[in-house]
Structure 1
Amino acid sequence: MSTPAVRDLQQQLENQANALNKIRKDIAKNHQVRKQYTIQHGENEMVQKELELLSEDANVYKLIGPVLVKQDLAEANANVAKRIEYITAELRRMDGTLKGLEEQQNAKKEEILKIQQRLQVLQSGKAKT
């Protein structure tokens, strides 16, 4: 039979484990979204390099839905630069979020370890009596 103290620690352990799992899911989601932004960043940098190769009188078209619309080269360059700037800012923000989540994860692991140690002490002390 377990004592109320043991049951309380087991409940705390379960709660902390659930919280840790949620943090891990958030980290995985962050990695997935970050991966998508990284791909978009690379694609936009490639477009920017291609636009730099064009002469000023070259025709540039933008795909809007099913239609290609003629676009000014300077406007196309500006749009791509803005997208790269936005994606870079999002990547930085996500890195900060990820760092915070990893710190939370480490703190939860420490809490779980402490609870497990207290539980072992209680259970080993009870086994001796």
Structure 2
Amino acid sequence: MNLNVDDQMLYRVGNENLVRVTPNAATKIDELKQRENQGDFLRIRITGGGCNGLSYKMKFVEDGKEGDILVSSAGVQVLVDSKTTLYLRGTTLDYSDKLVAGGFKFSNPNAKASCSCGESFNL
């Protein structure tokens, strides 16, 4: 789904300075989006939890919420809530299909420490 002008009033439009999706991640996201058929937007949020205190959560959604920031990167439409932007700025989302240490990886320049799985961090 692509947003039209009326839809964008719910969202603020951001750019890749907030979050950048690599081509490898975009390919995998598109594959998962087709298989799961849960929505056209990828919501990324940060919640308390994980081995380092904060963890990344991703899910497909049909629509965003008022105040969300919409970032289009590598053809992926990413929605981020305003609280998550405080922790996410400058992050790159990548994907590797390696047998060991494969999967989605977040590279967050704001993180002081992160776990080896790349799914949690602290500031």
Q: Which is richer in strand?
A: 2
Q: Which is richer in helix?
A: 1
Flag whether TM exceeds 0.5 (same fold). no
Superposition TM-score, scaled by structure 1 size: 0.17
Structure showing greater radius of gyration is: 1
Superposition TM-score, scaled by structure 2 size: 0.17
Higher relative contact order (CA 8 A, sep 6+): 1
